Amino acid sequence: MCSDPDVMQYIGNGVTRTAEDAARYIESFEKEWSEKGFGLFAIEVKKTGDFIGFTGLSSPNFLPEVFPSIEIGWRYSKPSWGKGYASEAAITALSFGVDELGITDIVSIYQIGNEASMRIMQKLGMIFDRRTIDPTCNREVGVYRLPQQ
């Protein structure tokens, strides 16, 4: 998934990843689950069991200015785009964080131009918080935030 330039266009500086990179990331995702009790879910299509991407909560280490907020994020392989999977999984992952774990200080961060991602944030009921610069790649990002009850 992360070796596809279209998938990586709006991630960091847009550089694609190798299988070795992916293995390291998966290890860090698993570590986050065991250390913090939340993390990224691998998403599969129920009918086929095919892996199509990930969605979930993680610490936005690339943007310390939003700490201690937790980020909800997502990434999917291109053939699965446009079918509503990303929205469906994001709604479920958000409800897991809020209802099961009691995490409510949640943001979501997209690079300017990534309209589909911004739309998912809006569909989750999040509201625009700020525009800023991701210091790890100097790209402009928009931050959405879950409103507090």
Interface contacts to ligand COA, rule CB under 6 A: 7, 10-11, 73-76, 81-87, 110, 114-117, 119-120
Specify the residue, 37 or 113, whose C-beta has the smaller distance to ligand COA.
113
Specify the residue, 37 or 136, whose C-beta has the smaller distance to ligand COA.
136
The residue to which tokens 């694609």 are assigned:
16
Specify the residue, 35 or 71, whose C-beta has the smaller distance to ligand COA.
71
User: Amino acid identity, residue 44?
Assistant: E
Specify the residue, 2 or 37, whose C-beta has the smaller distance to ligand COA.
2
Rounded CA-CA distance 66/70 in Å is 8
Structure tokens at 99: 């209802």
Q: With H, G, I as helix, E, B as strand and everything else as coil, classify residue 15.
A: coil
Closest distance of CB 39 from ligand COA, Å: 16
Closest distance of CB 12 from ligand COA, Å: 10
Q: Which residues are CB-neighbours of 54 under 8 A, at least 6 positions away?
A: 29, 40, 41, 42, 43, 74, 75
Closest distance of CB 80 from ligand COA, Å: 6
Closest distance of CB 16 from ligand COA, Å: 12
Question: What DSSP assignment string belongs to 39-93?
Answer: -EEEEE-TTT--EEEEEEEE--TT-GGGTTPEEEEEEE-GGGTTSSHHHHHHHHH
